[in-house]
Amino acid sequence: MTSTLARPIPATTVDVAPVRLRAVPSPSAPHVATAGLQLSTKAAALVLRTARVSGPVFRDDTAAATGLSISTVNRQVSALLKAGLIRERADLTPPGAVGRPRVPFEINTTGFLTVGIHIGYKTTSITTHDLMHRVVGAIAIPTPQAATAEEVVAAVGQSARRFADRWVGKRLLWAGVAIGGRVADGGVVDHPRLGWSKVPVGRVIAETIGLPVSVASHVEAMAAAELVVNTPSDQGQNFLYFYAREMVGIAFSVDGTVHTPAAGPPTIGHFPTGATTLLDPDNTGRLEDTVGDSGVLYAAEKAGLSVTSIDELRAAARTGDTVAHDILSERAEVLGRTVALISDIFNPDHVILGGQAFTDYPEALPAVSKALRATSVVTQRDVRVARSAITVQQKAAGAVALDAIYADPLDALSHTD
């Protein structure tokens, strides 16, 4: 991870009094789930999504947008209003309108928060999100070092709980954890890069933060974050999400669902890179060793550059160091070739590039595009950079934290205090 993310991320200003929010472990074990990462078709979820995407919105417009009957919409609106997840906007009622159905409603952005946690190889980000999936506040901490994996996770949970305690007058609904590796039922994680096996991440976070918790693989969570911001017209299309930073990974979304293979997320770190000039000085031929942050810095060291972080390497490239620029450009070329080959296998409607390997040095994006076009058999493939850009890890954690609420909002509330 970069030196930028080794220090706190500036948090969005929140107008609250400086007193503690009650967020302590409950006597009974909090609920733990594996995130579903899909656009729900439940009636309450459809109404809540319409309020989030199109609000303030009228009930008849909601019925038209969702395909639900007006009576079903009325029932769900009443239930969501009672739960406080949406609020009416009487000030926007059309002149002369009679009756509550002509009062528009929208997401309640003031009453609730969720807590997102992205546990990275070197850096962990902790965020709070409102029901619109917007980041309300964020910090970054070095991923703790401890004797056991459970102690690492507990330390992260304690940091998240202290951060969540900053908000008062807000009801904390859920916590979400995005992490590399394979996530099994109950939030149990195998993470070979960290040396973790069958670590009960969900249970430990739930016990330390005192909230229901969902857990998901981080690249799949990043793909889910893209689903959250999709417009309704995009929901039926499929896309390949390609992530690159310290680690590389892919996820595939079809018809509003992020596909999660039973054997775990696809592994592409060993993918062959082909010939390189400056990168991969030990000739491993493996993708992650070649284009991951650590591998890129190792190549810079072997090339004689005195840089200790990816940020320093980018700064050197931007101030005229041709070797630094060539290293980053070669990274872009290798990524472009790999994206092309994997895209040709899946043949998605769209390809989304996420992670700081793409977003933090846009000067190299033309090299990605050129290599992709030269390698792919598809001449007009739609490729775009992730909307989350530099906040991709935060948005991924937020998507997991909101997953249960977006999937079945009224049921999710039944698991909270």
Residues 6+ apart with CB under 8 A from 67: none
| Higher pLDDT, residue 18 or 144 | 144
More confident residue, 263 or 217: 217
Q: What distance in Å separates the CA atoms of residue 288 and residue 36, rounded to the nearest whole number?
A: 27
- The predicted pLDDT at position 212 comes to 96
- Residue with token string 């309640």: 108
Q: Distance between alpha carbon 88 and the CA centroid of its chain, in Å?
A: 29
Instruction: Give pLDDT, residue 153.
Output: 97
Identity of residue 396: A
Report strand pairing: 239-244 vs 350-354.
parallel
Q: What does the DSSP 8-state code read for residue 234?
A: G
Q: Residue 284: its pLDDT value, please?
A: 96
Mean pLDDT of 296-315: 96
Q: Average pLDDT for residues 378-400, to the nearest whole number?
A: 88
Give the pLDDT mean for 386-405.
Answer: 89
Per-residue model confidence (pLDDT) at position 23: 42
pLDDT tens string 170-201 = 999 999 999 998 999 999 999 988 899 999 99
Mean pLDDT over residues 382-410, rounded? Answer: 91
pLDDT band of residue 400 (cuts 50, 70, 90) is very high
Residue 231: is its pLDDT beyond 80?
A: no
pLDDT at 20 over 60: no
- CATH architecture of the domain 232-392 equals 2-Layer Sandwich (3.30)
pLDDT at 12 over 50: no
SS3 category, 182 = strand
* Interval 64-87 mean pLDDT: 96
More confident residue, 178 or 93: 178
- What is the reported pLDDT for 101? 60
For 99-156, how does the pLDDT look when each residue is reduced to its tens digit (9 = 90+)?
Answer: 566 899 999 999 899 999 999 988 999 999 999 999 999 999 999 998 899 999 999 9
335 residue type, one letter = L
pLDDT above 60 for 338: yes
* Band of residue 168 on the pLDDT scale cut at 50, 70, 90: confident
Mean pLDDT, the chain, rounded, equals: 88
Question: Residue 241 belongs to what H/E stretch?
Answer: strand 239-244
**pLDDT at site 75:** 96
Q: Give the CA distances from residue 158 to residues 147, 164, 196, 210, 223, in Å, rounded to whole numbers and listed in that order.
A: 16, 10, 20, 10, 27
Percent of the chain with pLDDT over 90: 75
Helix and strand numbers, DSSP H then E, in the chain: 14, 16
Domain ranges of the chain: 232-392
Query: Could you tell me the pLDDT band of residue 264, with boundaries at 50, 70 and 90?
Result: confident
Structure tokens at 113: 């928060």
User: What pLDDT is attached to residue 28?
Assistant: 62
Of the listed ranges 97-101, 112-116, 164-168, 367-371, the one predicted with least confidence: 97-101
Q: Do the bridges between strand 86-88 and strand 105-107 make them parallel or antiparallel, or are there none, so unpaired?
A: antiparallel
